[in-house]
Amino acid sequence: MKKEIAFHWLRRLARERWVAASVVLFAAALVIVLGAVFISRFFCRLLCPLGAFYSLFNRNSLVKLDFIEGNCVHCLACVPACPTGVRPYEERDSRDCILCLKCVDACRFGALNVGLRRQEPAPRKHVVVEPPGRAARSG
């Protein structure tokens, strides 16, 4: 009997489209609000199409964030300064980094710097060259 009541309610809901649309919008708004309460930058990290677009090109940008390990004292001043919560000493070239460079301003020890990304050189092919006369001895 309870199943029949539930299905009757769902059928009625499906007939009235504005009610169904309202329920879907309310559920989506509830998910966004609860996500914002419990997850830092929920919308920006998971739902924002612009953030997803930027993250595709972050590793191919002309500018990169350089981390100088010898200068870092792990004071963690860069972490609260970063709006995306990236830890540059752990995650180099993170897709979440939006290159706002607030972490560079926050670092008092010069462990973070801005640099130009250089193309990695192609690995060299090692060609083994046998000395003259050695090939004649083996045959």
Structure confidence at residue 103 (pLDDT): 92
Tens digit of each residue's pLDDT (9 = 90 or more) over 112-138: 988 887 766 666 666 666 767 665 555
Q: 3-state SS string over 118-136?
A: CCCCCCCCCCCCCCCCHHH
Tens digit of each residue's pLDDT (9 = 90 or more) over 22-46: 888 999 999 989 988 988 778 877 8
- Mean per-residue pLDDT over the chain, rounded: 79
Percentage of the chain beyond pLDDT 90 is 20
72: closest CA among 110, 40, 38, 34?
A: 110
pTM for this prediction? 0.55
